[in-house]
Each structure stands twice: as structure tokens, then as C-alpha cells.
Structure 1
């Protein structure tokens, strides 16, 4: 079973980690596309600038013309990841909104956790790796999670506890992501997230 395929036949990897003909891109986009792939799959610390330069097929002069430092490249990577992930998440929530027997949040998150391309949350991974050295990572992550909660809130019925329930469900999603990442198995994480989503729904 190809776990990168979800309802509608579109690959999550095509949205979050698209197969791009990198050599045909302009230099800046080539560097960013290469860093995007390496940073998420191999980690930020494990990916040196020399490796990005070599795989992007650019010179050091060209690299530093577009990105004055590795930090600048990291922040550009996270901004691009935020855009792609939110585009996918909002679309996934919409696709699953017609199923009244299951939370669209749980269904969407399960798509991601069971995809072959899943390597955890790029933002939580980045905070863990370099948050102490690059405070801007915390700011981007905070904005990313706030936007995620806003998208979750839109799926919940109106009520006095809607914002609180969305925030709680957002925290539960992060917990499920971490659990699926260290367990190398999404089954238990999805079951736990389902339980939490059901409890919050009843509380509303």
C-alpha cells in the first residue's frame, strides 16, 4: 500500500515535498528546493552548506549572493514549509468535512502521519535542533501553530468553548505527531487523537 496517497488520488508528498526538476530552476529557487528536501529529511544540523551547494549545483559565491548565511536559508525553508503545509492542511480538512462520523482534523492528520514522506513536524524539529541558537525559529513556529489552530477552529461548531477546544486539539495534534515520530508507527497516535477529539466534541 502506498501510504503517500490520500483520498482523491493526490500524493501528500507532491504537496509537501514535491518532485521538482531542480536543475531547471533559477539559482535561488534551486538552492531553496535542495535545502527544503535535505533539511526535512536529514535534519538541519546534519545538512551542511557545502552539501546544499553541491546538490543544488551552484557555486559558493552564488549561494551567498542569495542567502548570506545558513540561518537565512533555514528561515526561508521554514517559511516555504509553512506555506505548503497550511495549503495541504486546509485542503485536507475541507475534503474530510463531509464525514460526520469522524473528525476532519483526525482524518487529515492521519493522512500526514501515515505518509511515506513523514519525518515529524518541521517546526518542532527545528525548535529542538536550533531554537536556542536562532530565536526566529520560535517566532515562525508560534505563527505556524497559531494558523493551524485557526484552521482547526473553522471545523468546529460555534459555541462558547470553540476557541479553547481548537487550542486543545492543536496541542493534541502536536502530541500525536511526536508520538508517531518516535514510535515509527502512527496507529496508537491516531487512536489517542481520536479519543481526545471525541471528548472535546462532547464537551462542546
Structure 2
């Protein structure tokens, strides 16, 4: 089935699709351009025709992930217009859905940062900018929700949302999804204390 789906995609999208699966499941350092080409049912030359280097491909993959997250937030803003607390809760619900939470790898951004040897690499810069935008969004939504100390509330929510991926990955607690949603609802004032 996967072969039929890949064969229908244009070459650039096949390469990105293959890179996504491999980078997410195996990490960026362990994955070779040859492995990406094979997974994409393509050639190494095709990979380099669309992406001048593996680093450029990593950037394109990260940008694709960021667009997907932005799309989730845009959908939540539309569905819960004027209800910022429900937008935050909706994002928490997105993070704990299957297979997002059950991934054995956790957060793709955190894993990528851990693999980058250079502190000022373009990929690190891209991820840090994405995380700053996400923090600014959460601060704004906390302000709009009328939460006291919105910056601190956004920081606390970030710890919950980022931390849930690690806790789910290391299997230290049961019902990680349910417990996260209880904590997020409580922090947003959506349930009685």
C-alpha cells in the first residue's frame, strides 16, 4: 500500500515523506541520504536535485512540521474563535491523541536539537524561532483568557505540554493523556479546583 501512495506523489514530496518517516523514527544523524532515496523509491541524485544537502532537507522537514503545527493552531482558532482557553485545551488534546503521544521517539524538535552538534546551526535557529512563536502564542492566549500572570501561566502550560511527551515516552506514569488534560483544564480554570 505504501508503495502505491509514494509512487503517486511528485518526487520532492516523496523525498520529504520518506525523510519525515525516517527522521522521526530513527533520528537525523542515523539516517543517510541513501536510506531516504530508497524509502522514497527514488535515487540519491533525485534527492540532491530537490535538496542540495541533507541539512537543507532537514530544514525543509522541520518547516513542514511547523506548518502542520501552525495548521492545528489555525483550526483551533477557527473552531474556538473568541475562546482562547479552549484553543489551548484543544492543542493539549491534539498532543495526547494517538499516535502523537504514543510515539517511542517523543518530540521531533527536542530530538533534533539533541542531535545538532553546532549551537548556531540553521536547524537549531529554526526550531528556537518556532518555540519562541509558540511561547508568544501561549502568552497571548493566556492574556486573552484572563489568567493571572499570563507569562508564568504560559510557561507552566509549556512545561505540561512539552513534558507530557517525555513522560509518555518513558512510561513512568499511567493515563498520561487523561492526567495532562485534567491539569491543563485546572490551570485554565475550566474546572473547579
Specify the TM-score bucket, using the shorter chain as the normaliser.
0.7 to 0.9
Other structure's SS at 2:130 match:
helix
Compared with structure 1, are the counterparts of its residues 195 and 80 closer, same or farther at alpha carbon in structure 2 (3 Å cutoff)? same
Correspondence list, 1:83-98, <5 A: 83-92=67-76, 95=79
Q: Pick one of 70, 79, 93 that aligns with 1:110.
A: 93
Unaligned runs of 5+ residues in structure 1 are: 1-19
CA–CA separation in structure 2 for the residues paired with 1:125 and 1:89: 22
Compared with structure 1, are the counterparts of its residues 31 and 88 closer, same or farther at alpha carbon in structure 2 (3 Å cutoff)? same
CA–CA separation in structure 1 for the residues paired with 2:74 and 2:182: 19
Q: Over residues 119-168 of structure 1, what are the superposed CA-to-partner deviations in whole Å (9 max), with x where a residue is unaligned?
A: 3221011112x222472232122122222223333433246622332233
CA–CA separation in structure 2 for the residues paired with 1:62 and 1:104: 41
Give the superposed CA RMSD: 3.3
Query: How much has 1:109 moved relative to structure 2?
Result: 1.9
* Residue 180 (1) aligns with residue 165 (2): no
Compared with structure 1, are the counterparts of its residues 186 and 136 closer, same or farther at alpha carbon in structure 2 (3 Å cutoff)? farther
Residue of structure 2 equivalent to 1:121: 107
Q: Is the CA contact 2:93–2:181 (under 8 Å) kept in the aligned structure 1?
A: no
Q: Is the CA contact 1:30–1:56 (under 8 Å) kept in the aligned structure 2?
A: yes
CA–CA separation in structure 1 for the residues paired with 2:117 and 2:60: 18
Compared with structure 1, are the counterparts of its residues 93 and 46 closer, same or farther at alpha carbon in structure 2 (3 Å cutoff)? farther
Q: Pick one of 116, 138, 143 that aligns with 1:152.
A: 138
Q: Is the CA contact 2:147–2:188 (under 8 Å) kept in the aligned structure 1?
A: no
Q: Is the CA contact 1:109–1:173 (under 8 Å) kept in the aligned structure 2?
A: yes
Aligned residues: 181
Q: Is the CA contact 1:149–1:170 (under 8 Å) kept in the aligned structure 2?
A: yes
Query: How much has 1:103 moved relative to structure 2?
Result: 5.5
CA–CA separation in structure 2 for the residues paired with 1:160 and 1:185: 30
Residue of structure 2 equivalent to 1:47: 31
Give the TM-score, by structure 1 length. Answer: 0.71
CA–CA separation in structure 2 for the residues paired with 1:149 and 1:60: 38
Other structure's SS at 2:42 match:
coil
Give the TM-score, by structure 2 length. Answer: 0.74
CA–CA separation in structure 2 for the residues paired with 1:148 and 1:40: 21
Q: Is the CA contact 2:92–2:184 (under 8 Å) kept in the aligned structure 1?
A: no
* Residue 191 (1) aligns with residue 175 (2): no
Q: Is the CA contact 2:15–2:47 (under 8 Å) kept in the aligned structure 1?
A: yes
Compared with structure 1, are the counterparts of its residues 44 and 35 closer, same or farther at alpha carbon in structure 2 (3 Å cutoff)? same
Other structure's SS at 2:17 match:
helix
